[in-house]
Amino acid sequence: MSEERQQQLQELIEFLRSIQKPNKPIEQIGADENLVTSGLIDSLALVEIVVYLENTYGIDFSTHGFEPERLSSMTSILDFIEQART
């Protein structure tokens, strides 16, 4: 994993901590595990993830569209950031 991707992952984890459900520690979630079905977040938190990505990385969802499966896991979010920035 590149240094930039590792930094993005750490920032994403910190953000997810701020919106996660209190009964499911993020440390118990694998990077490829679905964030909603794992119980870490609820489906409404996907909107907060969209806002985070727009504000942090300047991603314009009106250009890229909103597909919840692209934001389903930490890995898929990092992949989406990489794709949206190229």
Note the pLDDT tens digit of each residue in 56-69: 999 999 888 888 89
Structural domains present in the chain? 3-84 (1.10.1200.10)
How far does CA 6 lie from the centroid of its chain?
Answer: 13
Note the pLDDT tens digit of each residue in 5-57: 999 999 999 999 999 998 888 988 999 999 999 999 998 999 999 999 999 99
Flag whether the pTM goes above 0.75. yes
Q: Return d(Cα 29, Cα 82) in angstroms, integer.
A: 22
